[in-house]
Each structure stands twice: as C-alpha cells, then as structure tokens.
Structure 1
Amino acid sequence: MKVPVLARFGGRLIPGSRALEIGCGSGYGSQLILERFGAACVDAVDLDPAMIRRAGRRLARYGEQVRLARGSATDLHAALDAQDASYDAVFDFGIVHHIPDWRNALAEVARVLRPGGRFYFEEVTAHALARPTNQRLFDHPREDRFTAKQFLDELAQRGLVVLGSITRIQGDYLLGAATKPI
C-alpha cells in the first residue's frame, strides 16, 4: 500500500474522523487508516467471513475503534446500515477491481461520503488484469474491467472530484484521492 502517495493527494484525516474500508481482507488496511491516516474509528466490510475473522484478530487491540461487518461494497446499507453522508473518508486498497458491479460500488462510496470527505483509492486496472500471468495466478472478474481513465471518469459521474492521481507500471496500477464537494 502506498500510504505516502495517497496521503499526498488526500491528506491526513482531521481529528475525530470516521472512516470506512471496503474489502478489508485481513485488516491491515484498517490498521493503516487508524495509525497512518489518523482516523478516530473505522468501519470495515468484506464478503469473506474468513477474512472478517482474520481482521478481527489483527484489530482486536483497537477495541471499539473498529467495527467489522460481512457484506458487499455494493450495498453498504445492508452491510453496515451505512446512511447517506455518514463517513469522512472511504478507503479502497485494491478491492473495486474484484467487484463485478464496480460502478455500483463507486456509487455507494459517493453516497456514504460526507460533503468534503475523501475517497482514497489504490486500484489494479484492466491493463494489469489482461496480462496472461495475472489471469493464471489470480481469480478476478474479466468482463467490464476499467482503465485508469474509466475509473476516474466514473468518479466524476458519481459527483466526486479527483484531487490527484497517478498510474504506475505502464498503467497497471492507479492511486489517488477524490473528494465530495461541499
């Protein structure tokens, strides 16, 4: 995870910030959100119950600062009872490219983000997913994957303004931050 790059584009969170991590996996991202970005609390969601258990073990020391839930990034209301404009920041550490309905996931990000809030993203693009090695090694959806431009355009379609972004390794990876205007 490229914390310095994401922080350069989106900054650290203001004290007391409430954050959401979509696709939390083993909980490493939520730990970074608390320790490196300065969130007061993190809600984290993942579809895989085994990952939620692993995240629970990793994040146990944070107590009530972390709330874990099993569910989909495409329906955060069902997963976390997430209301409109309820988070100061949302983090995507390489999960949206796993989601077949990635546009709906970005719509949910925009819905739950407060005006002035930040969306930090680190993504794998269609360019990387099309590589034969990646197709043999990883189980990712192959239909309707996004380029960096398509991802950024979708953020704009959802009312988010990109603060900064960069691609790495011939466009394989996209990192950046966006905000929901006040």
Structure 2
Amino acid sequence: MNRIEKAAINNPARRALQRLYEVPTLLKLAGGPLPPGAKAAELGCGPGYGTKLILDRFRAAHVDAVDLDPYMITKARRRLAREMHRVRLAVGDATDLRTAFGAADSSYEAVFDFAIIHHIPDWRSALTETARALKPGGLFVFEEVTAHALARPSYRLLFDHPTEDRFTAEQFLAELPRHGLAVRGSLTRIRGDYLLGAAVRSR
C-alpha cells in the first residue's frame, strides 16, 4: 500500500463512508450483529477503525486484527487503547493467522475483509485461510475491489496494487464455494467496481 492509499484510508471521508454506508450494508447482508460472545478476525486492519466498528456495530466480543504494516498496527493500538482487553493486534500476514495469533482451525465466528484481499498477490490463499480459521456456520464478511476498478487509469496512477491475476466480482464469487464458503442471501455490487457480501462456512 503506497503513501497515497495510506492517506486515503486515514482520512475522515473514508471513515465516514465506512461508518455510514459500508458497515450498515454489510450488517444487513450478514443478517445483523454477531451472536453474543463471538470471536472475530480482521484481515488487514489498517489504523484500527474497522476493528472498532466490528466491536461496536457487529458486537464482537473479541477481535484478532492483523496487518503487514507496523505503522498501521501502531496507529491501531492508539485508536483501540481502551479496547485492548478485547483486541489482539499483530504485524503479520492475512494468509497466516496461525503464525500471527496461534489461530487453530475453526477459531472464529466471523472473519472480516474490508477491501484487503485484492492487495494480496495470492488472493486465493487468503480465502483458504479464512475458511480454515472459521467455525462451521461462521461468517466471512467482505467488501472487495475488483479487477474492473483496478484497471481504471485513476487507480493505476494513484495506487499500488498487484497487477497479475486480479479477480472480477464473478471470479471472486466463483472461488468462494471452492473453499466451503456459500454466499448468504443477496450481494451489493457498485458499478462493477466493488462487491459487498457475506458467506457462510459450510458445516
């Protein structure tokens, strides 16, 4: 993630969009808050704003949040200082929650992807790890940026993303059942660029 994208995710407009549109939409697609006592993981937590929303709006009892960037983990630790009894933060890879947190198979009731998987060169491995770490019946809550958006000149000029093997919305959705993840109900698509939804880990 380059300097421009770091600035973009740290600004108030991005936080407002996440709080006022993305999270209410994802809550609806997920069928409401998580069950009492639920433990969740967040892939690529950035500065911790999404982590706080998982705690407050999805009502997770505990969140394990990972990010590759130590700077982001430092920012998240500051933002979540009052919540650290309910949060674990780690510098690490979203494709390896076992190393980051010692997460065994079936550790979480939910895994959250706030537009992170499109940053991962081997994005399928992130889905493999998500499915491994989810309990049967657990939720994978996702919002993703597709190849359609990443091909736009503005994205290519401003942001630094992998260029090989990026997924369309259809390719992302087709990959989910290969990992035992079934889309729950409807989806939200925005101009072919963004995809929001929730999937359930098969029992």
| TM-score interval (norm. to shorter) | over 0.9
Look up the equivalent residue of 2:138 and give its one-letter code: G
* Identity %, equivalent residues: 63
Within the alignment, does 1:178 sit opposite 2:199 as a pair?
Answer: yes
Within the alignment, does 1:111 sit opposite 2:118 as a pair?
Answer: no
- Number of residue pairs matched? 181
In the alignment, what sits opposite 1:8?
28
Give me the whole-angstrom Cα distance separating, in 2, the residues matched to 1:96 and 1:154. 13
Within the alignment, does 1:124 sit opposite 2:145 as a pair?
Answer: yes
Stretches (4+) displaced over 6 A: none
Q: Secondary structure at the match of 1:121?
A: strand
With 47-56 and 71-80 compared, the bigger mean Cα shift is at: 71-80
Give me the whole-angstrom Cα distance separating, in 2, the residues matched to 1:108 and 1:63. 24
In the alignment, what sits opposite 1:45?
66
Following superposition, the deviation at residue 26 of structure 1 comes to: 0.2
Q: Aligned-residue CA RMSD in angstroms?
A: 0.8
With 121-130 and 2-11 compared, the bigger mean Cα shift is at: 2-11
The 5-angstrom pairing of residues 1-182 of structure 1 reads 1=18, 2-10=22-30, 11-163=32-184, 164-168=186-190, 170-182=191-203
Instruction: In structure 2, list runs of 5 or more residues that go unmatched.
Output: 1-17
Q: Secondary structure at the match of 1:64?
A: coil
TM-score of the two chains, using structure 1 as the length reference:
0.97
Look up the equivalent residue of 2:26 and give its one-letter code: L
Instruction: In structure 1, list runs of 5 or more residues that go unmatched.
Output: none
TM-score of the two chains, using structure 2 as the length reference:
0.88
Q: Secondary structure at the match of 2:187?
A: strand
